[in-house]
Structure 1
Amino acid sequence: MRRFWSLLSVLLWASCAWSEPSAELQEPLAGWRYSGLLDRSENPQVAYPTPPIDRGIQRNRTMIEGQIKAMGHLRQPHSLSVNGNPLNLYTDEQGRFGRPYAFGAGSNSVEVRSSEGKSLKRVQFYEANTSKTPARIRVVLGWDDPKAELDMHIVTPDGQHAFFGHPGLTNGGGLDPDGVDGPGPEMFTMTAPLHGTYLIYVNYWGNFGSGGYNFDAGSNQNEVITSQINLVLNENTVNEKRETFIVPMRAIGDLLLVKTFNY
């Protein structure tokens, strides 16, 4: 009898471990929506594993929140595809996740994919907040190491420099959100861009762990961190153009010019 129950336990465990994964999204939901501040309060919601930093200008964020169920042997990383921008997705032990994102007005989509690339959940919604002007320039940075902290730097045609220490520019551009806990996203947006030359840089700033930030070589997860930068012009219009850049980062302090482009 004892052997029977042991065998049954093993079979039940195997059934759970190998069952098909699924995902649910608590936010955003499909359909029409009107979103204001992060959570319509002064208390920002918490992203996994730490809350996003609010330096006073990051007021357009929406949390993408949900849970991946029956992960079994299919462990991290999973992925999010947000309006076509892929982002690595890491969860806690219960499969829960939360990532900040600044959606523009109009049609938006969020898709959760398994580590094997299978679509687990997809929602399409229409952002009806007309105070949100569509982005003419959007740059999205994500990376594949949750223990590393990468930063995006943007230089605009008038010489202003957007980065974590100066997220808001007087020309209307800025970082929102500024990812602080790996693996992003970091996002730069301009709704009324200046004409001229823009520079996109990526910096391997340091590492991030249970004890906070550090600069210990080897305390990251991957020997080579793969960053992905998506440049989107005229988002959500018939004139949308998109470029993707894959940039390896190897050592703390690396600062690489990713792209020079004219608008």
Structure 2
Amino acid sequence: MRRFFPILIALWATTAWAEPSAELQEPTGGWRYAGLLNRNDAPQVAYPTPPIDRGIQRNRTPIEGRINPPSGPRTPHILSVNGGPLNLYTDDAGRFVRPYAFGAGSNSVEVRSSEGKSLKRVQFYEANKQITPARIRVVLAWDDPKAQLDLHIITPDGQHAFYAHPALTNGGGLDPDSVDGPGPGMFTMTAPLHGTYLIYVNYWGNYSASEGFNFNERSNQNEVITSQINLVLNENTVDEKRESFIVPLRAIGDLLLVKTFNY
């Protein structure tokens, strides 16, 4: 038995070393600070490097960190922002940057392993008085970093928010509309019109480092792409309500109605 003892110790050490860990940039000013980054230089999005971000860039914040060991292309970690999960992929060094437009009030960011274990959590209070709480927020994410999905929103006055028309005259808009891997795409409205809203998801095409944006049916990673759409009403208030929808997409060009709701 003694001769096996060093082997057992080595196996235990290997297992312990393989336990995932996460780093997450935290607010520099403590609890009451607008934003997550504690440095002034703009980070570079890690996986894959996006050529553009078509959102209207209103109040976005990069969520930046590192995971060890890095996530593989088929086993993403989870980034949970205010309870809404997003697939989180990294570069080869484990780095990640995801854009998000935080609302006023208390916000939380958590990195979880692919098995659901919490690796790192940051809670902060957005006290910037220029940021109005989001009354309607729709967040789109998906599980294929080589596919490009788009969020489409029809507002009660007939306006259509999508990648080619991100900003609406009624105050709503897409921000961010990330084309970096699996999203997020986000629609936000701080002073919603009363009436009926329509939420659609579109499988626009694929993206690869060799082909760029393309419509090659074989250049995506998964045969069936699973999208998740989170609808949040009256975020960060006592009247907050959340709904989540899982929508499978199989073919480029699929355009599916996810939800019709009244505000």
Q: TM-score, normalised to structure 2's length?
A: 0.88
User: What displacement does 1:16 show?
Assistant: 7.0
In structure 1, C-alpha distance between the alignment counterparts of 2:63 and 2:72, rounded to whole Å: 24
- Contact 1:27–1:66 (8 Å) recurs in 2: no
In structure 2, C-alpha distance between the alignment counterparts of 1:75 and 1:248, rounded to whole Å: 17
The 3-state SS of whatever aligns with 2:52 is coil
- Contact 1:17–1:72 (8 Å) recurs in 2: no
In structure 1, C-alpha distance between the alignment counterparts of 2:50 and 2:124, rounded to whole Å: 25
User: What displacement does 1:178 show?
Assistant: 0.3
- Is 2:78 the partner of 1:79? yes
- What amino acid does structure 2 have at the position aligned with 1:50? T
- Is 2:225 the partner of 1:225? yes
- Contact 2:86–2:141 (8 Å) recurs in 1: yes
- What amino acid does structure 2 have at the position aligned with 1:262? N
Match of 1:147 in 2: 146
RMSD: 2.7
- Contact 2:70–2:91 (8 Å) recurs in 1: no
Match of 1:23 in 2: 22
User: What displacement does 1:183 show?
Assistant: 0.2
Per-residue CA deviations over 1:194-236 (Å, capped at 9, x if unaligned) read 0000000000000011131111002111000000000000000
The 3-state SS of whatever aligns with 2:19 is coil
- Contact 2:110–2:121 (8 Å) recurs in 1: yes
In structure 1, C-alpha distance between the alignment counterparts of 2:120 and 2:51, rounded to whole Å: 24
In structure 2, C-alpha distance between the alignment counterparts of 1:73 and 1:35, rounded to whole Å: 28
- What amino acid does structure 1 have at the position aligned with 2:56? I
The 3-state SS of whatever aligns with 2:197 is strand
The 3-state SS of whatever aligns with 1:15 is helix
User: What displacement does 1:15 show?
Assistant: 1.7
Match of 1:108 in 2: 107
In structure 2, C-alpha distance between the alignment counterparts of 1:17 and 1:248, rounded to whole Å: 37
- What amino acid does structure 2 have at the position aligned with 1:182? G
In structure 2, C-alpha distance between the alignment counterparts of 1:71 and 1:40, rounded to whole Å: 25
CA distance 1:231–1:203, change in 2 (3 Å): same
User: What displacement does 1:17 show?
Assistant: 8.1
Flag structure 1 segments of 5+ consecutive residues without an equivalent. 1-6
* Percent of aligned pairs sharing the same letter: 76
Show the 5 A alignment for 1:222-261.
Answer: 222-261=222-261
Show the 5 A alignment for 1:28-67.
Answer: 28=27, 31-35=31-35, 45-48=43-46, 49-51=48-50, 53-55=52-54, 57-67=56-66
Show the 5 A alignment for 1:173-192.
Answer: 173-192=172-191
Q: TM-score, normalised to structure 1's length?
A: 0.88
User: What displacement does 1:50 show?
Assistant: 2.0
Show the 5 A alignment for 1:4-19.
Answer: 15=14, 19=18
In structure 2, C-alpha distance between the alignment counterparts of 1:233 and 1:53, rounded to whole Å: 29
CA distance 1:178–1:157, change in 2 (3 Å): same
Show the 5 A alignment for 1:77-226.
Answer: 77-211=76-210, 212-226=212-226
Per-residue CA deviations over 1:88-120 (Å, capped at 9, x if unaligned) read 000011111000000001100000000111000
User: What displacement does 1:54 show?
Assistant: 4.9
CA distance 1:241–1:141, change in 2 (3 Å): same
User: What displacement does 1:27 show?
Assistant: 4.7
In structure 2, C-alpha distance between the alignment counterparts of 1:53 and 1:216, rounded to whole Å: 20
- Contact 2:73–2:89 (8 Å) recurs in 1: no
